[in-house]
Amino acid sequence: MFDLPAYDAHEKVVDVNDPETGLKAIIAIHSTARGPAAGGCRLWTYAGPSEARTDALRLSRGMSYKNAMADLPFGGGKAVIMGPVEPQNREAVFAAFGRAVDSLGGQYITAEDVGVGVADMMVVARETKYVSGLAKAKGQVGGDPSPFTARGVRIGIEAAVKARLNRDSLEGLRVAVQGLGNVGGYLCEELYERGAKLIVADINAARAEEMIDRFGAEVVDVKDILTIEADVVAPCALGGIITPEIAENLRAGIVAGAANNQLSVPDAGAVLQRRGVLYAPDYVINAGGIIAVSAEYHGESNLAAIDAQIEAIGPRLHDIFDRARKEHRLTQDVADTLARAKMVRV
């Protein structure tokens, strides 16, 4: 594990194997410098344990940076459950996962991520208190954090549009949204309400067709969405999709989306910069969800305060864009520097 490129001095990596339920999971704790490691649980069918471990390592590191940049009292962690999980066994698997989380004694706080929903977290909550993203109680924040993530991404897109195109509105801009899961769907709604013209793609063709009826979107093949002519490309599926080759062939001036770890390698960011494409660092722009999860976990109910934290994503990105331009640096390098400076014991 220590030789894996994704390893970054992680504090703890736990392999979970529960023969009774068939649960196979990896919980990666990158840093607890700012507080307990917080990050969602992803259910995915990986090619094998090595791919799953790499994903957990990369995602947990990203959570450390995300939580630091959002000024949250959390370190970074992530869990991945290796699928597939049979429907009739799902409850037992998530109960076993909850027990695994509980065994860490609060070092890791979980929530939903790709492939995992509120119902799954409610099962986890029967086994541990170290969980968020639960069904919303009256007067409280809770439930699916995707709308908060999407709102933050929309705010980030507006910041990038101002910085790159010097426009104060999304009216008439072509935005290509890759991935129409919970966050991608909510993002389409946010963009449509502000007059953007949507181009969408998803591996679920029916989901993509739904966007035609709801938002008058143009549907394209998933293999074409990233390089289609647009003002903004918004990756909202899995990570690692902006490769150097894709970066060379982009026909948009901005990359700003909800996906984690969008750049397959750091060199992809260098290609974007050389071509004049503005990249909004993913863990900065997609922090709206963890902001809501943090509020829920700490029992906060002041929606205005939560909205203010999410609105701060815009100025935060403007600062990164300005520094990158003045210092002739990549936007992701500037963000990394700022995040590392915040990753201290608080």
Which domains occur in the chain, in start order? 12-127 (3.40.50.10860), 145-287+298-302+313-342 (3.40.50.720)
Q: Which among 24, 66, 78, 197 is annotated as catalytic?
A: 78
Burial of 164-188, coded b for 16+ CB within 10 Å and e otherwise, reads: beeeeebeebbbbbbbbbbbbbbbb
Instruction: Read off the pLDDT of each residue in 55-75 and give the average, rounded to a whole number.
Output: 96
Q: How high does pLDDT run on average in the chain?
A: 95
Q: Among 12-21, 131-140, 154-163, 231-240, where is mean pLDDT lowest?
A: 131-140
- Residue 78 a catalytic site member: yes
| Three-state DSSP state, 109 | strand
Predicted local confidence at residue 345, as pLDDT: 66
Instruction: Read off the pLDDT of each residue in 327-346 and give the average, rounded to a whole number.
Output: 92
pLDDT bucket at 4, cuts 50 / 70 / 90: low
Q: Which residue type occupies 291?
A: I
pLDDT bucket at 8, cuts 50 / 70 / 90: confident
Alpha helices in the chain (DSSP H): 49-69, 90-103, 118-125, 146-165, 182-193, 205-215, 244-249, 266-274, 282-285, 288-297, 303-311, 313-327, 331-342
Euclidean distance between CA atoms 227 and 236, whole angstroms? 15
Please determine, for residue 138, whether its predicted confidence score (pLDDT) is greater than 60: no
Please determine, for residue 1, whether its predicted confidence score (pLDDT) is greater than 70: no
8 A C-beta contact, residue 258 and residue 150 = yes
Please determine, for residue 140, whether its predicted confidence score (pLDDT) is greater than 90: no
**Is the backbone peptide bond immediately before 49 cis, with ω within 30 degrees of 0?**
no
Instruction: Read off the pLDDT of each residue in 169-184 and give the average, rounded to a whole number.
Output: 97
Please determine, for residue 340, whether its predicted confidence score (pLDDT) is greater than 70: yes
| Three-state DSSP state, 318 | helix
Q: How far is CA 3 from CA 57, 62, 136, 299, in A?
A: 12, 19, 42, 40
